[in-house]
C-alpha cells in the first residue's frame, strides 16, 4: 500500500518543507536516486558480509531516523516540533499521574499489577513548547516528560538473528521486537485516548471533537534488511469507552532488493511525520486547550492559550 493512499494525502511533494506548516521541519528524508542506490548497495554488502543486527540498527538510525535540533524547541513560535528519544521508559508508575497502563478489557479479570518496564528503541514525541503554554501547564492535563508529550511513532529493532520470518517476510508476530512494539504502542495509544476522552467530557463551542479515526499510533519493526510498518487503533464500546486496541500490519519491504524498497520506506517515514505534525499535533493541542479552559488547574490560571 502506498502511504499517500492510506493517509489521503497528495503524492510525494518535491519538498516537504513546501507543505503548509512544515517549512521548519528537519525530520523528513530527501534522497536523490543516486543516494538511494548507494544505500541499497550498502545493505547488499552488509548481507553479503553477514553483519550482525547492531550494524543494521546503527545504519538505519544514522541515515533514516532524523531528529529536530533541540535548540530550536525552546522557542514558542506556534509551530509543531518533534522530539526523538532512544530507550525512553514507558513504564506507568505512581508518579506518572497521566501515564497509565491500558486496563484489561474483560471486567471479570482484576487488573494485574504492572511489574515490568518497556523501553522502545526509538520514539517520536511532540514537544510541549508546541502548545503555546508552559510545560507545567500542559502537564496538568496530560503526561509530559522532558518537555515532550503524546508520542505518535515507535520503532523497534530485532536483536535476535535467529528470529523466524513468515514466508512473505512480514514481521513475525511472535518475534521479540513485535511484542515489544505491541506493548509500547498500546501504552502510547491508551494515553492518547485518555486525553481525547477527557476533552470529550467538556462542552466547548470552540472545539469540534477530534474524529475517532485520528486516534492512532504508528510503529515500525526492523530486522536486518527487512522492515514492517504497523498502526495501532483503539476499540470502543457503545459508550465510547476504551475496549482494547488493535495492532494492524500496514506494509513491509526490503532495504536491499532494489531502490523501490528504500523509496517506499522513506515515503512511509515521511508521511507518518507529516501526519504527526499536521493531524496528530493540532488535535492534541486543541484537546489540551479544551481541558485547560474547562478545568482551570489551581495555581496555573490565568494563562494565555493559542
Per-residue pLDDT 10s for the chain (306 aa) are 789 999 998 788 888 888 887 888 889 998 989 999 999 998 888 888 887 888 888 899 999 998 877 666 555 666 788 888 888 888 776 555 678 888 877 766 565 666 667 889 999 998 866 565 555 667 667 777 767 788 999 999 987 655 544 434 555 567 889 999 999 999 999 999 999 998 888 877 777 888 999 999 999 999 998 999 999 999 999 889 999 999 999 999 999 878 899 999 999 999 999 999 999 999 998 888 888 888 776 444 444 444
How many other C-beta atoms are found inside a 10 Å radius of the C-beta of residue 263? Answer: 17
- Our separate counts of H helices and E strands in the chain read 7, 7
Cβ contact 271:9 at 8 Å: yes
pLDDT of residue 159: 77
Report the alpha-carbon angle 256-259-263, nearest 5. 110
**Torsion 251-252-255-256 (CA) sign:** negative
Which are the contacts of 280, defined by CB distance < 8 A and separation ≥ 6? 126, 150, 152, 214, 216
Q: Please report, for the chain, the start and end positions of each structural domain, with discontinuous segments joined by +.
A: 3-9+23-105+118-295
All three cell numbers of 297, joined, read 488547574
All three cell numbers of 134, joined, read 508552559
Q: Give the integer Cα–Cα distance in Å for 117 and 124.
A: 18
pLDDT of residue 76: 61
Helix runs in the chain, H state only = 3-7, 33-48, 53-64, 135-138, 176-200, 259-275, 281-295
CA atoms within 13 A on the CB side of 54: 0
**Of 188, 202, 13, nearest to 91 (Cα)?**
188
pLDDT of residue 299: 47
Helix runs in 3-84, H state only = 3-7, 33-48, 53-64
pLDDT of residue 180: 92
Give φ, ψ of 26 to 5 degrees: -125, 15
**Strands 217-223, 148-157: parallel, antiparallel or unpaired by DSSP?**
parallel
Which are the contacts of 220, defined by CB distance < 8 A and separation ≥ 6? 153, 154, 155, 156, 181, 227, 228, 229, 230, 268, 269
Cβ contact 99:143 at 8 Å: yes
How many other C-beta atoms are found inside a 10 Å radius of the C-beta of residue 168? Answer: 6
Amino acid at each position: 500500500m502506498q502511504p499517500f493512499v492510506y493517509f489521503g494525502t497528495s503524492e510525494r511533494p518535491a519538498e516537504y518543507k513546501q507543505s503548509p506548516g512544515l517549512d521548519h521541519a528537519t525530520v523528513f528524508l530527501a534522497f536523490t536516486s543516486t543516494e538511494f542506490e548507494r544505500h541499497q548497495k550498502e545493505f547488499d554488502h552488509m548481507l553479503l558480509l553477514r553483519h550482525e543486527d547492531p550494524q543494521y540498527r546503527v545504519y538505519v538510525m544514522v541515515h533514516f531516523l532524523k531528529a529536530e535540533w533541540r535548540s530550536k524547541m525552546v522557542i514558542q513560535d506556534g509551530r509543531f516540533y518533534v522530539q526523538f528519544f532512544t530507550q525512553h521508559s514507558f513504564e506507568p508508575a505512581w508518579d506518572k499521574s497521566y501515564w497509565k497502563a491500558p486496563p484489561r478489557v474483560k471486567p471479570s479479570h482484576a487488573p494485574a499489577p504492572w511489574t515490568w518496564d518497556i523501553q522502545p528503541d526509538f520514539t517520536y514525541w511532540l514537544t510541549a513548547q508546541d502548545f503555546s503554554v508552559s510545560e507545567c501547564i500542559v502537564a496538568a492535563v496530560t503526561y509530559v516528560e522532558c518537555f515532550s508529550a503524546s508520542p505518535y511513532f515507535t520503532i523497534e529493532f530485532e536483536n535476535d538473528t535467529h528470529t523466524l520470518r513468515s514466508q512473505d517476510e512480514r514481521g513475525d508476530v511472535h518475534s521479540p521486537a513485535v511484542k515489544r512494539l505491541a506493548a509500547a504502542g498500546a501504552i502510547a495509544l491508551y494515553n492518547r485516548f485518555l486525553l481525547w476522552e477527557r476533552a470529550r467530557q467538556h462542552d466547548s463551542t470552540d472545539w469540534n471533537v477530534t474524529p475517532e479515526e485520528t486516534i492512532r499510533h504508528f510503529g515500525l519493526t526492523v530486522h536486518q534488511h527487512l522492515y514492517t510498518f504497523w498502526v495501532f487503533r483503539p476499540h470502543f464500546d457503545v459508550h465510547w469507552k476504551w475496549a482494547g486496541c488493535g495492532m494492524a500490519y500496514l506494509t513491509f519491504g526490503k532495504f536491499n532488493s532494489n531502490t523501490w524498497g528504500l523509496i517506499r520506506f522513506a515515503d512511509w517515514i515521511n508521511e507518518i511525520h507529516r501526519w504527526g505534525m499536521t493531524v496528530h499535533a493540532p488535535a492534541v493541542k486543541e484537546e489540551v486547550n479544551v481541558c485547560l479552559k474547562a478545568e482551570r488547574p489551581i495555581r496555573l490560571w490565568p494563562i494565555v492559550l493559542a
